[in-house]
């Protein structure tokens, strides 16, 4: 297994294959894959999914993947690192998007598959990816802003699709309880907004009953749920960003990096470094 690194912080290319000759590997970047033609199998972390024309996949950094080509296939690969959007001249709300994606990536089950929920969204994504490719080929002084704006639209549609497909279905959410969970994860780093008193008032539930209501639907107490959710975000940030432990600890309101490291080891039985080294299992 090897880690493929991006040569640029953003690139888009079209590649055709009669046979996939690359070894299973990991990336240090996000990759959006659009299947324009062909059929075969996509493998992510030892799971396989049959792909066909029109499929769109999102591959997070450090997920191990490969393709098995059954019919000659043609793919659009859109590759980007977090540094592409952290440039002040590009997408200003990338940090907010990644924080939202971190919650989604921490909760969806990592089984490969098409992540688009509607034909309308699929048509928009495909057209936008093709438009980005053409803009990338004929770049001028306006192209960077046009491409980053188009990427912002793509990323938000992907975030919404993943949340609907994996988070809602996985938790079999009732409408109000689903709203509570989404609110919790969107404000997980703001403890003053996720106290029982704040949540009860916001969602019209008695303060005396809220804790019982939450445990009934979540199966764990609010405190335990928040703690486990924060640790899943730690997992995601450790694997998918180059943030330091100090930065992660500060962002998620741990006392300091030592507190974070101790909490993580108590929960997982391994250090954060050991967890990062172990990563995801690779495809056969």
Domain boundaries, the chain: 2-171, 175-278
Do 175-278 and 2-171 fall under one CATH topology? no
Closest among 127, 108, 110, 16 to 63, alpha carbons compared? 110
Whole-number Cα distances in Å, 200 to 15, 75, 95:
52, 48, 28
What's the CATH code, domain 175-278? Answer: 1.10.10.60
Residue 59's beta-bridge partner residues? 31
Res 3: pLDDT: 47
Res 156: pLDDT: 81
What's the CATH code, domain 2-171? Answer: 2.60.120.280
List pLDDT tens digits, range 46-104. Answer: 778 899 999 998 887 766 778 899 999 999 999 887 666 655 454 445 566 666 666 66
- The rounded distance, in Å, linking the Cα atoms of 280 and 146 is 35
Res 140: pLDDT: 93
User: Who contacts 130 (Cβ-Cβ below 8 Å, separation ≥6)?
Assistant: 76
pLDDT tens for the chain, residues 1 to 284: 444 544 567 899 999 999 988 766 566 678 899 999 999 998 877 778 899 999 998 887 766 778 899 999 999 999 887 666 655 454 445 566 666 666 666 655 555 567 787 899 999 999 999 999 999 999 999 998 899 889 888 888 887 777 776 555 545 545 688 788 878 877 888 889 999 999 999 999 999 999 999 998 888 999 999 998 888 888 878 876 777 899 899 888 898 999 999 999 999 899 998 888 776 455 55
Res 117: pLDDT: 78
pTM above threshold 0.85: no
Res 274: pLDDT: 86
Res 31: pLDDT: 86
Res 284: pLDDT: 54
CA angle at residue 126 from 120 to 129, to 5 degrees?
Answer: 135
């Amino acid at each position: 297994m090897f880690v493929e690194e991006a040569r640029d912080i953003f690139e888009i290319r079209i590649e055709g294959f009669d046979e996939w000759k690359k070894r299973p590997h990991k990336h240090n970047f996000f990759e959006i894959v659009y299947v324009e033609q062909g059929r075969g199998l996509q493998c992510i972390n030892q799971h396989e999914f049959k792909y066909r024309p029109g499929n769109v996949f999102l591959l997070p950094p450090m997920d191990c993947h490969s393709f098995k080509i059954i019919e000659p296939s043609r793919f659009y690969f859109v590759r980007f690192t977090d540094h592409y959007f952290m440039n002040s001249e590009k997408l200003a709300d990338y940090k907010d998007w990644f924080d939202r994606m971190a919650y989604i990536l921490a909760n969806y089950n990592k089984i490969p598959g098409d992540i688009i929920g509607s034909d309308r969204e699929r048509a928009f994504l495909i057209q936008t990816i093709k438009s980005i490719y053409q803009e990338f080929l004929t770049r001028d002084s306006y192209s960077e802003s046009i491409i980053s704006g188009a990427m912002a639209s793509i990323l938000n549609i992907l975030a919404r699709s993943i949340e609907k497909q994996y988070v809602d279905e996985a938790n079999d959410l009732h409408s109000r309880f689903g709203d509570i969970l989404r609110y919790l994860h969107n404000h997980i780093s703001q403890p003053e907004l996720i106290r029982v008193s704040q949540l009860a008032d916001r969602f019209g539930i008695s303060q005396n009953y809220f804790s019982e209501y939450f445990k009934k639907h979540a199966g764990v107490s609010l405190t335990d749920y928040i703690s486990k959710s924060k640790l899943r975000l730690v997992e995601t940030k450790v694997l998918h960003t180059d943030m330091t432990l100090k930065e992660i600890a500060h962002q998620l309101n741990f006392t300091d990096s030592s507190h974070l490291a101790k909490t993580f080891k108590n929960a997982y039985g391994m250090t954060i470094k050991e967890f990062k080294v172990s990563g995801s299992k690779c495809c056969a």
